[in-house]
């Protein structure tokens, strides 16, 4: 029996599982969606389920053909997911609670349909982790050094143009204005979105694992470099035009323009990797 036939024969199990998941995870899921809505760092979370769905659709033929081999070990995975949920609830750790949804789902798939189907669905399931916000303590551990680095490199660039500028931590000081490199300019926000997008691009368009790894790793320097350029341009304009160049519409527009540029760079790198893979054959 293949998975397509197995799905028809287990609709009752799927319905019960879906209802139980809704009861257990309703509030957890709602709070996660509220994070996406209110925190710009995680607004890409709205796209992740749709991208995961598309990655699943790309594997539809494999899903139909894979044999159904229920595995008792799936119950171990499912139990591990529930234990993860309890640990998250007891420690009020939201990332742990939310991650358990994916682990429980993986365990159910293995228990009812077997490891062959779980292997086919591993990429779409794993991709769902990108929708889960990371703990703020971890976010700050990465974002703060990034802010310092972005400010340092941007100031070095401004000095090349003989501009009178000093830096104190993540604060850029001109004679007429003081600018602070905040989280939005650190590159962390665009980095998390670019990691999700580059991973999706890799599994959609690149065949070789090393190409996908290179593309995902490229998201880091691309995110940092584009935000360094953003801070440099903002500082340059603020010095010559005034503080308005670092606030309001221009600041928001610069953020969108920089992220669009970063996405184009990721697409170009992905295209170059795909061309390199073809030439290597």
Structure confidence at residue 239 (pLDDT): 81
pLDDT, tens digit (0-9, with 9 covering 90-100), for 157-181: 999 998 899 999 989 998 878 888 8
Structure confidence at residue 121 (pLDDT): 96
CA distance 209 to 199: 11
Residues 209 and 269 in one domain: yes
Residues 58 and 74 in one domain: yes
Residues 125 and 146 in one domain: no
Residues 167 and 204 in one domain: yes
Query: Scanning the structure block, which residue is given the tokens 């982790």?
Result: 129
Residues 80 and 164 in one domain: no
**Which of the listed residues 83, 102, 131 is the one where a domain comes to its end?**
131
Structural domains of the chain, count? 2
Note down the domain range covering 117: 3-131
Structure confidence at residue 79 (pLDDT): 96
Residues 145 and 226 in one domain: yes
What is the average pLDDT score of the chain? 89
**Which of the listed residues 131, 150, 166 is the one where a domain comes to its end?**
131
Query: Scanning the structure block, which residue is given the tokens 């000093």?
Result: 166
Say what the pTM is.
Answer: 0.89
Structure confidence at residue 273 (pLDDT): 94
pLDDT, tens digit (0-9, with 9 covering 90-100), for 219-275: 999 999 999 999 998 888 888 777 766 676 777 788 888 899 999 999 999 999 998
The closest alpha carbon to 251, from 179, 175, 193, belongs to 179
* CA distances in angstroms from 179 to 169, 192, 207, 238, 270, listed in the order given: 11, 24, 44, 9, 35
Q: Point out the residues of the chain with pLDDT beneath 50.
A: none
**Dihedral sign, CA of 149, 188, 124, 119?**
positive
**Which of the listed residues 131, 146, 176 is the one where a domain comes to its end?**
131
Residues 140 and 275 in one domain: yes
Structure confidence at residue 3 (pLDDT): 58
Residues 127 and 144 in one domain: no
SS3 of residue 6 by DSSP:
helix
Residues 270 and 226 in one domain: yes
Helix boundaries (H) for 39-182 = 48-58, 60-65, 73-91, 94-113, 115-127, 136-160
Residues 62 and 143 in one domain: no
Residues 13 and 126 in one domain: yes
Residues 207 and 264 in one domain: yes
Structure confidence at residue 36 (pLDDT): 95
């Amino acid at each position: 029996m293949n998975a397509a036939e197995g799905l028809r024969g287990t609709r009752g199990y799927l319905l019960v599982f879906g209802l139980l998941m809704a009861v257990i995870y309703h509030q957890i899921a709602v709070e996660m969606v509220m994070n996406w809505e209110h925190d710009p760092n995680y607004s890409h979370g709205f796209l992740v389920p749709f991208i995961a769905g598309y990655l699943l659709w790309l594997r539809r033929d494999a899903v139909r053909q894979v044999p159904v081999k229920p595995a008792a070990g799936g119950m171990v995975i499912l139990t591990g997911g529930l234990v993860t949920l309890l640990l998250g609830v007891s420690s009020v750790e939201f990332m742990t609670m939310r991650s358990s949804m994916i682990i429980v789902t993986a365990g159910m798939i293995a228990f009812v349909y077997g490891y062959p189907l779980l292997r086919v669905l591993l990429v779409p399931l794993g991709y769902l982790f990108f929708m889960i916000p990371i703990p703020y303590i971890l976010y700050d551990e990465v974002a703060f050094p990034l802010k310092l680095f972005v400010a340092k490199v941007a100031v070095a660039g401004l000095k090349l143009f003989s501009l009178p500028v000093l830096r104190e931590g993540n604060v850029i000081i001109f004679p007429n204005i003081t600018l602070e490199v905040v989280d939005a300019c650190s590159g962390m926000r665009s980095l998390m979105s670019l990691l999700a997008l580059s991973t999706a691009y890799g599994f959609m368009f690149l065949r070789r694992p090393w190409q996908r790894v290179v593309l995902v790793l490229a998201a880091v320097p691309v995110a940092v470099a584009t935000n360094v350029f953003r801070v440099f341009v903002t500082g340059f304009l603020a010095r010559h035009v005034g503080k308005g160049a670092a606030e309001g519409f221009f600041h928001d527009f610069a953020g969108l323009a920089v992220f669009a540029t970063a996405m184009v760079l990721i697409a170009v790198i992905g295209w170059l990797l795909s061309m390199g893979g073809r030439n290597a054959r």
